[in-house]
Structure 1
């Protein structure tokens, strides 16, 4: 499978048919795809993904993102990770299981979490 990677802020990507892996990393990016049969991965804040026909998967990581899909087909997948993300299907906002990464409530620092996981794996 081919892989296309775009890196940078405020990038605009337009594709007719995506049958590959399209990975975009950056803030304030706009991705427009007519037919998605592959995978679209977007990592960044305030990004927008517009897909007319979605047969594949769309993954968005970051805050304030919007995924707009014209028509979803059987077997497609949309996942959002981050606060204030929205999925709009055929002009209507859909509730989606949005996930937000969190630290352990018992630790004050990320190093504490990594240290405890490392010692657990070493046992």
Structure 2
């Protein structure tokens, strides 16, 4: 399977059919695909992913993202990680479980985390 990577802010990627692995890294990016049969991975804030027919998988990591899918087919997969991410399927907002990075469950303050990282780095 071919792999395409796009790196940079404010990039626009348009494809008719995606049968490959498409990876876009950057903020304020727009990805438009008519027919997705492969993998789309977007890492960045305030990005948009627009797919008409989704047979493959879409992975989005970042905050403030919008994933719009006109039609989902059996076996497809959509994953959103980050705060304020939205999934629209056929013009309707779909609730998705949102995952966010958390502090260590054993520390109650950010200072505890920073102190342990600083000690580890200094070794």
Q: TM-score, normalised to structure 1's length?
A: 0.88
Superposition map of 1:89-104 within 5 A: 89-104=89-104
* Pairing 1:74–2:74 present: yes
Partner of 2:45: 45
In the TM superposition, what is the alpha-carbon distance from 1:106 to its structure 2 partner?
Answer: 2.5
Q: TM-score, normalised to structure 2's length?
A: 0.88
Superposition map of 1:23-62 within 5 A: 23-62=23-62
Could you tell me how far apart the structure 1 residues matched to 2:72 and 2:22 are?
A: 18
How many residue pairs get aligned? The number is 115
Could you tell me how far apart the structure 2 residues matched to 1:93 and 1:21 are?
A: 26
Runs of at least 5 residues in structure 2 that lack an aligned partner in the other structure: none
In the TM superposition, what is the alpha-carbon distance from 1:98 to its structure 2 partner?
Answer: 1.6
State the SS of the aligned residue for 1:98: coil
Cα gap change, 1:111 to 1:44, in 2 (>3 Å): farther
Q: RMSD of the alignment, in Å?
A: 1.7
Runs of at least 5 residues in structure 1 that lack an aligned partner in the other structure: 117-123
Could you tell me how far apart the structure 1 residues matched to 2:115 and 2:32 are?
A: 38
In the TM superposition, what is the alpha-carbon distance from 1:111 to its structure 2 partner?
Answer: 7.0
In the TM superposition, what is the alpha-carbon distance from 1:101 to its structure 2 partner?
Answer: 1.5
